[in-house]
Structures are given as C-alpha cells and as structure tokens.
Structure 1
Amino acid sequence: MGDQKGEVVGGLLDSVRDVAGLPECRGICKIMYGNLVRRIKLLSPLFEELKDGRQELGEEELKGLELLKRAFNSAKVVLISVNQGSKLYQAFHWDKVALKFHQVTEQIEEALSQVPYEKFDIPQEVREQIELVHAQFKRAKLKVETGDIQLMMDLNVAQIEGVDPAVLKRLSKKLQLMTINDQNKEGRAIHELAIASGNHGDKIFEMSSLLRKFKDCTHQDSLEFDSDEGERSPLKHRSPVIPDDFRCPISLELMKDPVIVSTGQTYERSSIQKWLAAGHHTCPKTQQTLLQTTLTPNYVLKSLITLWCDSNGVELPKKQGSCQSKKPGRESGAVDCDRTAIDVLLKKLADGKPDQQRAAAGELRLLAKRNADNRICIADAGAIPLLVELLSSSDPRTQEHAVTALLNLSINESNKGKIVNAGAIPDIVDVLKKGSMEARENAAATLFSLSVIDENKVAIGAAGAIPALVSLLDEGSPRGKKDAATAIFNLSIYQGNKARAIKAGIIGPVMGLLRDAGGGMVDEALAILAILANHAEGKAAIGLARPIPILVEVARTGSPRNRENAASVLWSLCSGDLEQLKEAREIGAEDILKELLECGTDRAKRKAGTLLELFQRLDAPSPSSLEQKSDA
C-alpha cells in the first residue's frame, strides 16, 4: 500500500505543480480558467500533508485520491487547450469551451466527494481549507461571463463588411491577437486545423477572413504611427498590405506557386496538396466536391504577384524546390519532437502493466494530435504495430486511446499505409462494432481517413465495416454520426460497397437525417443519397422511402451544394419512373428546376435541364394519339 500511496499522492502533487506553472489565460473564459487553477492550487496542502505523514491509506482513501488524480489530468487538458491552438476557433465555439470547464469542475467535485478526508490525519486548518474548496467546486455553475458576452457580440459584428476598426481592436485585444507574431501563430493554428479536419466547413474561412481583418488593422495602425513619427521612426519602411487575391485562402500567406483546382479556386500548391493528402475531396473555400485533383499552375496570377513584389520592394518568394530539398534532412533531427520521450512511451506500450499501457497510449494520442512532426516521429519510432495490438485490449479506455492515436497518426499520408500493413483494418472494424461509443466514433473517423486510398475501400468494406457504420449513423452523437456518414460516403465510391450499404439498411437512417433539418446532417445525407441513387438497388430503395417532397423542398431552399445533390437524386429517381416524375411535377418541382437552371451550380443546371426535358415529354402527345388525330 505504501508504494501505491506514494505513486498516487506524488501524481497529485505533480498535477498541482503542472497547473500552477501554466501561463495566464490568453484566450476566452478567463474567469473560469483562473477559478479552476486557483482551486486546484488550494488543494495542495492536503497532498503535502499526506506525502509527509506516516498514515497508511486504505482502499477507500486510495480510490478517492485516484479519482481526483484522473480529474486533475482532465483539468490539465482543458486548461492547456485554452492556451494552445486557435483562439478564433475557441471564440467561435465558446459554448463548447465553457461546457468543458463545467464538466471538469463537476468531475473534480464528484472526485472530492469520494475522498474521505475526514479520515486523514491532517491539521484542522488544512481540513477546513479542503472543505471550503470542495464547497466552492459544488457551487460553481456554468454561466456566461460579461466579457464573453461582449466578445460574442463583437464576433458577430466583426464579420460584417466595413466594420468599425474599434470593434476589431477590442476583439483582437480580448483574444490576444494584437501583434504580428500572435497573428502569424494564429494563422498557423487555423492552417493546421483546416488540414487536420474537413469537418469545420465555412467556419475555417470565417476565422481566416477575420484574422485577415486583424492583420490589416494592425498594419494600418503601424502606418499611422510611422506617419506621425516622420523621419525619426525606425518603422517607416514597412511592407505594404498584401492584396487578398494574392493570399492563399488556406494559409493567408503570399502565394509563391499558385495553382487552380477543378472548381476554379486558386491556392498555394503546398497548402492544397496538404489538404488533399489529409483525405479531403472538396474545395476548401466553396466546399464543392472536386471532380478531379489535378492542380493547374496559375501563371497569370504568378506573374501579377511577381510584378507586385517588384513594384513594392517585396522579396520574391523562394521557389518551391528550395524548400523540398531540405525535407530529407529533417529526419535526422527527429523533426521537432522528443524522440527519447517517445521511445520511453513505446517501451511502456510493449512491456508495461495495463495501467502503464493505457497512460502511454493516451500520451501518444495527444502527441499525435498536436502537430505533423510528432505524427512522423511516432510512426518512425515503431508505435503503429504496438497501438494496433492494443485495439483488442479488454480495457475500454486503452482501446479508445489506441484507436484515437491511430486516427491522429493517419492524418499523415505515409502513415496510412503503415497502419494498414500492420493489419489494423479488421481490429478497427471490431472496435467499431463492440467498443465504447467514443471508441466506435473514432474508429469510424479512422476508417474514413484510411479509405482515402482506393484499395483500402475494398478491404474496409470486406471486413464488415459498413453495417457497423450504419448502426453508428443511427445511434451515435452528432460528431459520431458525421464521422460515420463521411466514412460511408467515401467507402461507397467503390461500387461493391454501395450494395453493402443498401443491404445494411442505410436508406432509413439517411432519410431520417435528411428530414431533421435541425440535426445538422442534411449535407451528409444528401451526398450519400446522391452516390447511392446511381446504383439500381439504391435507386429502388430510395424510391420506396417517398423522398420526392423533401428533395423538392431542398432543391428550393437549400445551399447551392445541397440543391445540386437534390436535383441529382431527383433526376435518378424520375428517369424511367413515371410515377415519381408525376409526383415531382404535382408539388411544383418544375418552377424550382427552372430557377435552378438559371442560377444553380454547373452540375445542378445539367440535372435541372434533363429533368425539365422529362417534364416536357409528359406533355408530348403519344404516337397513338397522333395517329387518331390524323385519321380524324
């Protein structure tokens, strides 16, 4: 028991020191952050007394302290996340950040309720302090801070064109994004967020646009300062503001090698290549599906950028090749990660006790999430086979850590092959079928990531993933449903998987998502229907679900992409099915399609045009009626 006491109490003291050493809050929820740090620090005397005392702790005491230790670890994750990553992302998702503080506060309060500190041999003043802190955790409630209300208001106003610079300055000050260095760091955070996940949609570009306004505002202030200072100012010759058309929409930096994607949008080559390598099949700016991934050099824009650089005394961006030649050399430097620490974690994965394996898998999960260099380093160190082995662990938390670590590692393109070669697909599918809800959802996301490689689509479908994904589509959390939907869509690009999805009963859940406009899954539901409607069995199954009214409504009121997909499904259903065609006409589809023909996307216009031709044929006289008229 003595060793266990030392390990638990020592771990609690380490957690308190880690929290105490965290910097002042540089993001939102400043009061919540400060309160959580202060209260955790106030618990330190209890652990100091237990460490120095000779009292043996029983099973009840150790269990309570172990729960508290886990709660502290959760608190550290939340506190660190507020000071790292994108400040704008946190602001746009304030409610989620606040909820995390509330949840971890509840977790600590529940753990303190399980700690029988009345049994501890500690001074009275320490006992009273602990009781006071416990009471504070009990009373802590989720409430909106006054400053955050102002932040939310400013955030909405700041997205309007011609916004008052005072609003931008107030908002950038609140978010600690006033200096060029902070803004560049934020740009990198948004860039990594965009590359790591395509599920944030338009929010990425709202954040990028707002960051650009912050940068322009900061630059303008600098120019005004230079003008006031005159010849004395050392800042007189600042770089001019980069025109928006010359910035990459992903990185917000001046483009050095602009290329055009199939939607007509232009991006910096390295940025869009990373986006595509991460498994995305959409245009980042428009969210339209890329019909092909060919990148066409934009020579005209490149020439304009070169002229602008010459005219404004800006150093021309270095050519793409000069950066690429340095890449092989990065491996020897462990690419910016602590290889020694990773090797220690791998040793615990391979030879440690179950609790050590669980903790090591959790550490690797966080490291792999943090940045691209870690993902390379962890895979190179040989972690993937060890993590795959832990997928079959009987401990649910270990299983969750292992599958999520593999998900984070799979963001790197070369790691996808290593994961598949380690025999991971059947084990990931097994987790998808039998794991905890968190493990199932992250397994779905991992399968989506791996299915970016075409041959993996076949293997994943053959391993029995699709029925389990359909179940998750029906049972999962909103995030889990999205992960399941994107995985099913991607797998269904392979024809054989379409039949599997239909056999698994996918049409019912998808139609439910389509009809639930408030569920946030209309985009995904329509995309799945559009790809399955091209399959004979899929077309028949969709037709039995009586989808025409909702499809016509989406074609009338939906987003451009959803209107396009709705028109595509309508065309598939109505081609060769007179009853479906008549139903669509009866509820007013014709006028909606005429409007779509005028202002829809190119694909929507094509589908609308062919559908309108089908309607015209309904009015055309049949050959027999023409003969009757001729005889008359």
Structure 2
Amino acid sequence: MESEGGEGSTVVRTLIDTVNEITLINDFRRSHKRECQNVIRRAKLLLPLFEEVKDSDTSLPGTAVSVFELLEKALQEAKLLLQLCRDGSKLYLVLESESVLNSFYAVAEHMDKALDGMPWDVLGVSDEVREQVELLHAQIKRAKGRADTQDMELLVDVMLVLSQKEDRISDVAVLQRLADKLQLKTRAELKAEAHAVHLLIKDRAPEVDETLEQMCILLRKLRNLTDLGNSDSESAEVDKLSSSAMASVEKPGSPIVPDDFRCPISLELMRDPVIVATGQTYERASIERWLEGHRTCPKTRAVLPHTILTPNYVLRSLIEQWCETNGIDILRKASSNGVSRPNGTDFLAKDRTAVAVLIERLCSGQVDLQRAAAGELRSLAKQSNENRACIAEAGAIPHLVSLLATQDSRTQEHAVTALLNLSIHEGNKGAIVHAGAIPSIVDVLKHGSMEARENAAAALFSLSVVDEYKMTIGASGAIPALVGLLRHGNARGKKDAATALFNLSIYQGNKPRAVRAGAVEPLMSLLMDPTSGMLDEALAILAILATHQEGRAAIGNADAVPVLVELIKSGSSRNKENAAAILLALSNSDGMHLLRARRLGIEAPLLELTACGTARAKRKATGLLELIETQGTW
C-alpha cells in the first residue's frame, strides 16, 4: 500500500492534471457561460498552490491529503460540468438551467468545504499563494446563487415557444430569436443538437420525462423553422436524427388536422392554400369554384376589390411539415400535379413597383382603395422576411401607422395586422416604434374590433422583444388595455393579452403597473376556471408578479393559497413548479399564508415535490419546508 507521502504526491499530480484539462475546455454553449468562466478562474487560482506543494520536499500529512482529495472530487465534478456545457444539448442546458446551476453551486460548496479544512501550517507554501487561495475561498463563500440574466431570458423564450399551441406569425418571432441566441439555425448546428438529444434519450431510456418531451417539441419547431430540404446528405441526417429523437417520445394515434389547415369552404386539409383580397385563406380549387358565381369573400361576406389569388407559402410550408411529421403524403401528390413553391424569394421582393402602387393607394384617401391595399400588404407581409424588408424599405410603415386611426374597422384591422407581420423582421421593430406606432396600437387595443385588439396585443408582444421597448410600451398605457382584453376578450384575445403581459412583466418597472391595472383578478379567474385553457399562462404571469412586493400583496389578498395548494397537489409538473414558487414568495412575505397552506395539508405534497419535481420545483419546495420547520408547531 502506498505511503501517506506517496498518496499525497499522487493526488497533487492528479489535481494539476485536472486543472490543466479544465483550462483547455472552452467554446461553451450559449447558456451558463458565467458559471463556466467562474469555475475555470477558480481552478487557475488553485494551480499555484498545487504546484508549490508538488515542488516541496515535505510529505503531506493525512489531513492535507484528505483536503486535497476533496478538492480533486470537486474539480472532477467541475470538469464534467464544463464538458456538458460545451458538448451537451443546448436545449437541455436551457430547460434544466436550474438543475445545471445547482450543480455549479454544489461544486462551489465542495470547494468551500475542502478549503475550510486546509492545514496551512503544515503545507509550507508561500504567503502569496496562501493569500491568493484564502481570497478565493472568501469569494466562494460570498458567491450568491443567482441565475445569469441572459440565461433567464433564454428560459423565458423557451417557455413562450412551448406555451404557444398555434403556429402564428407572431409566435415565429420568438422561435427565430431563440434560434439566433442558441445558434441553432444552420444544418450543422441542428445536426449536432439532434445528435445530442438523441444520445440523451438513449441514455435515459426507457424513462422519458417532461424535459425530454419538451426538447423534442423544440427540436421539431427549430427544424421546421429552417428550410433544410432533402438536397444533400447532411440535411437527410438532420431529419433522421431529429425524427429518431422525436419518435422516442411521441405517442401513437391518428393525427387530428388543425382547424387552420382546413379550407373554410370544403373543410378538407388544404393542398394549395391561397389568400384572397380580404386576407382570408382558402384551398385554390374551392375558392376558384366559388368565384365563378360570386364576388365576395365566403368567410367575411365582404365584396372583393379584385379576385387575385396570392399563394400562402407560409401556411403551405406549415401544412407540409405537419404532413411529414404525421406520415401523410397528400401534399406530395399535389406537388406532383404541378404545384410548386418559389425558390426562396417570391415575386414581391423582386417587384418593388407593386409595393409602391399599394403605398399610393394607402395615401389615396379613398376608403375602398386603402382597405384593399392594407389587406394586400397584410397578406404579403405574412409570407416572407424578404417581403417584410421590401415593404418597410418602400416606406409603407408610416402610412400603415396613420391608418390605425381610421374609422373603417376593416382597414384598421388590416393596418394593425400588417404592422404585426412587419414587426417579425427584427430590422423593422425600430422603424415601427420610431414612426409613433405604439400609442396608436394601444388605442386600437382599447377601442378596435376584437380581431384588431387581438392583433394589437400580438404586435405589442412582438415589439416588446426589444428590452428598451418594454419600458416604452409599459409607459404608454398598454398594460391596462391588455388587462382589459384579458378580462373581456375572446379566447384568442385573452391568450394574446396574456402573452404580451408575460413578456412586458419581465421588466421590473412594469410589474407594479400590471398589479395596479388589476391583472391579478382576471389571472386568478383563469386559474380557477378549468375550461379557460389558460392555466399555464396565468400561473406563469402570477409567478413573475409575485417577485414584486405589490404583486405578492395583491395575490395574497386574492385568496390564492387554496388554489396554489391544490395545484401543488395535483397539477402538471410545470404548474406545480410555478405554484410552489408563488407560495414561497407569499410565505416569505407573510407567514400567515404558509400557516394556511399547512392547514390545507401542504407538507406531504411538498415532500413529494422535493423527490419527484423539476429542479426548480424541488428548490422551491425545499424552501417552503425550511420555512415550515422555522415556523414550528401550530
């Protein structure tokens, strides 16, 4: 058996090798960069200690060997974490950000524990090295467990993408932003991510948890966002890997055709969707038969100013992707009959004259011409980013903004929706805001038709993606109007209002605005209404508002505790997590909320949550149980 001195020299050499390996790990994924950099910095600061001990002729006593073995364990854990953050699934790192963050905290705690027992008197190292390590030790003790702001924003984007149950143009903006931030846009990037997801599922088989299901949903959405095609082997491999990953979690059953994919005339899945002058979409064959004897839009009954049919390439692409995912070949038959898609850019991006004509009609002062032109711009802006850029460059935005004040409700609907579609292009957001659109959009949100109000809310959400605009929109009076739509809107309007409120409330200054506008009451109503279909959204917003003092007071006054306790007992994984977060915030503010929760039997569900919940849910449940222990008997 090796002597103490031999054990000491071995562990010191291992520590030096481990630090050198850690310093070579770089090029981290988008999330947890700050934690990775902190780990590498701490390892580098420890290296001089290990090198001086190695160069010393003094044999290490057993106490020092034990400390160095603890440090070795902590650094080995750190190395694995760094490798995960460099090579692992980007989607996993975001979805399990709290779990990964807790692993970094555990490494820091292990370092702290080891350094607490460092026997400096017997090590014989220089004062400079000792001072450096003791300074590092003090920094580790002061370090607070707080997620990086950018990591929190990533998680918010992911939750927004997962919460959207329809493929609307405003939802695509969030997905595009997520793809940009995570660098999951190219074939090579998606291939690497699909491979990482596939390996993770294989490693966890046969167990498939909620995180893996969410990763596969996100992977599908990101793959659909990028036109991979089937033109080369790399594209085929991405499809194969991602399809294999998704097949591991998808459940069998006959697919239900989404309503938006059905023709309003025939009610059949559309093969060749086209847009008429009112902005409605139909199957080409069905609307052509209709137009043989009519001059109106079948859905709106409005008279058509012209009978030009514009291919709806965005919807066609979504239908194609849905068919591919569900093994339906109906569109392949349509393609073989001569229906084809454009090569990346449609006619409008090449024909700026057409845009100029439409803008002239916007300025004509003739209601019919303005309505038709705004409707065509709305449809064209929905089709592609090239169109959005072209329309903005031609100067249409100020004229569309001016039409928001029109008395013609249909023109107003077209104008606000056209601005929504244009805002999807990142370069257009500033132009829309600088054209003075926000006050006008808020006015539409207050007084427009239900369709106009829905799309006004969606437009504010799209613009609020830019952080500085969150403050501008919040100060414009938008939040009370959004709360009004949340109270009295239809199902789609409430969902648009909730999405916008969620994003705006990320900015600290908007939280009290939402509370003072009365957001808590309708959110609680949605929470208690099983038919609303908005439980997830309401809980997510309340969890954000609960981080502000006024929000906690309003939620507490709304008698939220019984609902939260019931959700912790029987809600979905994500709902248990948010409910626990809200209850913890309330309990930290006022112990009476926790006392009431205990009387409702919260302790057993919390214990179960610490064992089976998500990483964040475990953390919140543990916090609540610690408060209960502090509270004592009751």
TM-score normalised over the length of structure 2: 0.51
Q: Is the 8 A contact 1:26 1:176 kept in 2?
A: no
**Aligned match for 2:328, one of 172, 182, 189:** 172
Structure 1 residue 577 displacement after superposition: 2.0
Letter in 2 for 1:565: N
1:596–1:604 contact (8 Å) kept in structure 2: yes
Give the alignment partner of residue 348 of structure 1, picking from 343, 361, 370. 361
CA pair 66-369 structure 1, distance change in 2 beyond 3 A: closer
Determine the C-alpha separation between the residues in 1 that align with 2:557 and 2:443: 32
Contact 1:25-1:83 within 8 A present in 2 as well: no
Per-residue Cα deviation, 1:481-501 (whole angstroms, up to 9, x for no partner)? 111111111111222221111
1:26 paired residue number: 271
| TM-superposed deviation, 1:364 | 0.4
**Contact 1:447–1:460 (CA<8 Å) still a contact in 2?**
yes
Letter in 2 for 1:457: K
Q: What is the deviation of 1:479?
A: 1.2
Match of 1:502 in 2: 515
Match in the other structure for 1:86: 318
Equivalent residue number for residue 45 of structure 2: none
Q: Is the Cα contact below 8 Å between 2:594 and 2:628 reproduced in 1?
A: yes
Q: Which residue of 1 aligns with 2:470?
A: 457
Work out which of the residue numbers 514, 527, 532 in structure 1 matches 2:540: 527
Secondary structure of residue in 2 paired with 1:84: helix
Mapped contact 1:25–1:82 kept (Cα < 8 A): no
Q: How far apart are 1:576 and its partner, in Å? A: 3.8
- Aligned mates of 1:556, 1:65 — CA distance in 2: 50
Preserved CA contact (<8 Å) 2:552 2:589: no
Residue 495 of structure 1 aligns to a residue in which SS? coil
Pairing 1:459-478 to 2, within 5 Å after superposition:
459-478=472-491
Question: Would the aligned equivalents of 1:336 and 1:374 in 2 still touch at CA under 8 Å?
Answer: yes
1:180 CA drift (Å): 12
Pair 438,77 (structure 1): closer, same or farther in 2 beyond 3 Å:
farther
1:154-303 alignment runs, 5 A limit: 171-176=327-332
Partner residue in 2 for 1:365: 378
Letter in 2 for 1:553: E
Q: Distance in 2 between matches of 1:177 and 1:556?
A: 50
The question of 1:70 aligning with 2:302 is answered yes
Question: Displacement, 1:79?
Answer: 9.4
User: 1:565 Cα deviation (Å)?
Assistant: 1.0
Deviation at 1:26, TM superposition (A): 2.3
Q: Please say if residues 473 and 481 of structure 1, whose CA atoms lie closer than 8 Å, have aligned partners that are also in contact.
A: yes
CA shift, 1:352, in A, is: 4.8
Change (3 A) 1:174 1:335: closer
- Please give the alpha-carbon distance, in whole angstroms, between the structure 2 residues aligned to 1:580 and 1:74: 63
Compute the displacement of 1:341 (Å). Answer: 0.9
Q: How does 1:86-125 map to 2 (within 5 A)?
A: 86-87=318-319
Q: 2:598 aligns with which of 585, 590, 599?
A: 585
Q: How many residues are aligned here?
A: 361
| Residue 357 of structure 1, CA deviation | 1.0
1:568 is aligned to 581
Unaligned runs of 5+ in 1: 1-23, 48-63, 92-157, 160-167, 190-329, 622-632
CA distance in 1, matches of 2:495, 2:442: 17
Change (3 A) 1:464 1:37: closer
**Quick check: 1:82–1:90 contact (8 Å CA) kept in 2?**
no
Bigger Cα displacement from structure 2, 573-582 vs 176-185: 176-185
C-alpha distance in 2 between matches for 1:38 and 1:346:
28
CA distance in 2, matches of 1:183, 1:555: 52
Partner of 1:86, secondary structure, is: helix
Contact 1:172 1:178 in 2 (8 A): no
| 1:367-400 per-position Cα deviation (integer Å, ceiling 9, x unaligned) | 1111111111111111111111111111111111
1:518: how far off?
Answer: 2.2
Q: Deviations over 1:439-459 (max 9, x none)?
A: 111111111111111111111
The Cα offsets for residues 274-329 of structure 1, whole Å up to 9 and x where unpaired, read as xxxxxxxxxxxxxxxxxxxxxxxxxxxxxxxxxxxxxxxxxxxxxxxxxxxxxxxx
Give the TM-score, by structure 1 length.
0.51
Following superposition, the deviation at residue 559 of structure 1 comes to 2.8
What SS is found at the alignment partner of 1:402? helix
Contact 1:337 1:374 in 2 (8 A): no
Change (3 A) 1:579 1:384: same
Residues 413 and 436 of structure 1, relative CA distance in 2, 3 Å threshold:
same
Answer with 582-591 or 35-44: which moved more.
35-44
Is residue 2:427 matched to residue 1:414? yes
Aligned partner of 2:329: which letter? K
Native 8 Å contact 1:27 1:82 kept in 2: no
Compared with structure 1, are the counterparts of its residues 587 and 74 closer, same or farther at alpha carbon in structure 2 (3 Å cutoff)? Answer: farther
| Contact 1:574 1:580 survives alignment (8 Å) | yes
CA contact (8 A) 1:429 1:463 kept: yes
> Is 1:451–1:490's contact at 8 Å kept on the other side of the alignment?
yes
Work out whether residues 396 and 435 of structure 1, in 8 Å CA contact, stay in contact via their aligned partners in 2. yes
Q: Distance in 2 between matches of 1:555 and 1:68?
A: 45
- Identity of matched residues, %: 53
Deviation at 1:539, TM superposition (A): 0.6
Separation in 1, partners of 2:336, 2:418: 34
Please say if 1:40 is aligned against 2:196.
no
Q: For 1:75 and 1:476, locate their aligned partners in 2 and report how far apart those are by CA, in whole Å.
A: 33
In 2, Cα distance between equivalents of 1:182 and 1:541: 60
The letter for the 2-side match of 1:512 is S
Conserved 8 A contact 2:385-2:425? yes
Secondary structure at the residue paired with 1:452?
Answer: coil
Task: Check the 8 A contact 1:365/1:404 in 2, yes or no.
Answer: yes
